Chain A
C-alpha cells in the first residue's frame, strides 16, 4: 500500500498531462474541477495516452471501468490514489 497526498498526486499528474495540452497556463492552475477535454482541450483520443503514461508513472494498472471515470482532474486523482492504495 502506497499513500500519496492528493497534492503530491496532483503535482505529478501535471507532468503526465503536460505533453497532451497546449494550454500550459491553465495546466499550471488546474484543480479538481478542471475538465480534461473541455478545459484543457485535450484530444479525446489522447486520454488513452494519459492513462497509459499514468500507469507507467505510478506502476499501477487502470482498468477500463476506472479509466472511464477519469474525466476531470479530481476523478483522475481519485482513481490513482485508489490504485496506489491497492498496491
Chain B
C-alpha cells in the first residue's frame, strides 16, 4: 500500500506539475502576448479593422490672362467591372449584355473583360457623358448590374482646344506633369492629398460613424498666365499659314510686353495638340519642348541692334557717324590657315554710310567697323548686360543659356568679334533675342520674361510682380536706337510690309543654318523683330521662319509681321501715329 500510495502520489504530483507547467506556459504565453508583444498585436488588430483613405486634392487649373480656362481638371465617371463578383457565367453573360447595350459596346468585348479570378476592378469605359453616366448609375442602383461600379475620375480638359500646347504641357497616366507648365509647376498644381481614417466591419464594409479626418486635402494652385488666348490663337494661325506659304520647315512667333516682360503669346511650328488623347507618341518627343527657350540659333543681323546699342551707349557713334563699307573684309588667321572673308549679304559695297544706314542696309562690314570701335571687352560686356549667355528665368522647363564665346575662351579670335557683332558664331534663344529687343523698347531696362501673372491657391491670389533684371542702356540710347529702327522699317524695300497706321521700329535678320560641317547653303533662319508703337512700345515681336523659300527676313518674315502687327494693333488699340501712316 505504501508503495502504491507513493506511486499514486508521485503520479498526482507529476500530473499536478504537468498542469502547473501547462498553466505556467499559458500564463507565460498570455504575458508574452499581452505584455511583451502587445504593440505588435495591437498593430495587427488595428490593421484588421482600421483603414486609411487618401482623399486626392483637386489639381489646379490654368487660365489665360483674362480668366479663360486653358486646362482644367474635372471629374468624369468611369465604369469598372469586378470579375470576382461575377463567378456565375450566366450572371456574367447577362451583365455583359446589359452593360454592353448601355455603353454601346459589343457584349463580347465586355464579357472578355470579366475575369472571375480577378479581384481588382477592370475599367470598361471612362470619360462617360453625363446622360450615359446617369443611366448606368440607375441600373447599378436597381441591382441590374452586379459587379459593376461607377466612380468619378479626374480628367484634364482643354476648353480652348489645342492652343499653347508646348507652353501648357501635359500629364502622364499617373497625373504627373510631364512637359511645359504642367511639369514646371507640378508641385504647386498638384496640391496635397488629404487623409481620412476609418474602420471597417468583418465584411470589410466601412463603419460610417468611425470616420475621422486626419488631414483635409489641400487643393492645387491655379495658374493665371500672361498669355492672351486671342493673341495666342492668332499667332498660331498666322504662323501655320506663314510656314505653309513660305514652304518653310518651321518657325516661331513671340509677343512680349516690354514694360513688364510678360509674354502675351508664344508659338512654334511644328507642334503637337495637347488635347489629343494620344498626346505622347514615341519619336515625337522634340515637339513637346518649348522651342523658344530650349533651342538656340544664330540670330543673324538682328544682333546688329545690340552692337549698335553698345556703340551708342559708349558714345562711340551717333546715328550719323560715317563708316566705310567696302563690301568685303579679309582676316588672316595665321599658321597657314586660310583667311576668313566677311562679306555683305548682298555682296555689295555701300561706300561711306551712316550708322543708321548700317542698320537699314544691314551691312556686315559696316557693323564690323562699329564693333571694332567698341572693342571685344565692351561688346561682350553689353551682350551680358542684354542677357545673352544666361538663362532668363522664365517659368518654362529646359531653358538653355545660349552660347557666347568670349575673349577668355582660347578658341576666340578677332573673327569672332566681327561675326558675333552681326549675329553669326553666337547662339541665343529666341526668348533672349526678344527680351533684348524688349529692353530697347523699355527705355533700356531689361525685364525678366514671365509667363505666369498670378498664382491663385487656398491661401489666396499671389500676383507675380514684374521683375527688373538690370538696366542695359540709358533711355536716351534706347530712344535713339528705336528711331534708327524706325528708319529700317520705313525703307522703300519694306514699304509694302508696313503696318498701316502704326509707327513700327524693327530689324530684319537672316542667318545661315549651321551644321556639323559648316553652314548649309540655301537654308536660312529668316527673322524680324519689331517694337510697336515705336515711340512708346507696348509690344515687342519676334518672328522667325526656318528655311523659307524666300530666304531673307525682309522677304519672308516682314509680310508676316504686317499681318500679325495689324491684328495686334487693332486688338490692343494701338493708336495711329501722328501722320496717319
Query: Do A and B belong to a common assembly?
Result: no
Tell me the A residues contacting B by CB distance below 8 Å: none
